Amino acid sequence: MLALFLLQMNPAVNALAAQPEGISLNFIDLALKGGWIMIPILVLSLIGIYIFGDRYIAVRDASKVDASVINEIHRNVSDGKIDAALAICRSTNKPITRMIEKGITRIGRPLNDVNAAIENVGNLEVSRLEKGLPVLASVAGGAPMLGFLGTVTGMIRAFYDMANAGNNIDITLLSSGIYEAMVTTVAGLVVGVLAYFCYNILVSKIEGLIFKMEATTTEFMDLLNEPVK
């Protein structure tokens, strides 16, 4: 009896009880309830996916240099076979071998000049690898802010509808603004968090490649510093 009395006294509960069981929203319907703010968030997510995929593949391919190739280059340089060493570098065509190639072309000059030439090439290679990372960082920071903007606009919409309704306030009247507020917040945070992790993954991989490039440069300079036998 008490339950029946509560249902009769609360129209909102009556409307909810009258709904058929199993009503649910799929992902697309839920995203559409986020309003126009979802469009820039979607664009940022696509940009982030593209940059991460492109840079991940580029860094992965740049890191694939067999140690035997580097040893073969060093052996040819030690034996005075400069043309053969250059041919290996050009056929491999990786950031590390391009750095060594520049150093080989400077053999005969002061070692400081050789080292400076290698470092210049290394800086250019790192700059190429980091292409797009600032944009990915902007996605990581911008997507949550767009989500919070959607939260504000959604709540403004909900209060505006409530003010216009007067005494005829209904939960369904406020639902559109609340949906917009919550959906955009979740979408912005999801895109921002994923972009943040993707950015740090790329930075970590690039730093590992830079360490490998520096180690290879050091070995090459040590080779040039060895006394002639």
Mean pLDDT by runs of 10 across the 229 residues of the chain is 36 39 57 76 94 94 86 87 89 89 88 89 92 94 90 77 67 67 86 95 94 89 70
Question: Do residue 90 and residue 102 come from a single domain?
Answer: yes
pLDDT at 53: 95
Question: Which of the listed residues 129, 145, 173 is the one where a domain comes to its end?
Answer: 129
- 80 belongs to a structural domain: yes
Question: Which of the listed residues 95, 129, 163 is the one where a domain comes to its end?
Answer: 129
Q: Which two tokens stand for residue 85?
A: 């060493």
Question: Do residue 84 and residue 124 come from a single domain?
Answer: yes
- Give me the helices (H) in 82-132, please: 82-92, 95-105, 111-129
pLDDT at 2: 30
- 218 belongs to a structural domain: no
Domain count of the chain?
A: 2
Question: Do residue 188 and residue 150 come from a single domain?
Answer: yes
Q: DSSP for 165-206? A: HTT---HHHHHHHHHHHHHHHHHHHHHHHHHHHHHHHHHHHH
Overall size of the chain counted in residues: 229
90-142: pLDDT as tens digits: 888 889 999 998 998 888 888 888 889 999 999 999 999 999 999 999 999 99
- 105 belongs to a structural domain: yes
Question: Do residue 107 and residue 137 come from a single domain?
Answer: no
pLDDT at 66: 82
pLDDT at 172: 65
* Number of C-beta neighbours around residue 164 at 10 A: 9
- 227 belongs to a structural domain: no
Which residue range is the domain that position 154 belongs to?
A: 132-210
Question: Which of the listed residues 79, 96, 129 is the one where a domain comes to its end?
Answer: 129
Question: Do residue 148 and residue 113 come from a single domain?
Answer: no
pLDDT at 38: 85
Do residues 214 and 108 touch, judged by C-beta distance below 8 A? no
Question: Do residue 106 and residue 156 come from a single domain?
Answer: no
- 35 belongs to a structural domain: no
Question: Do residue 137 and residue 121 come from a single domain?
Answer: no
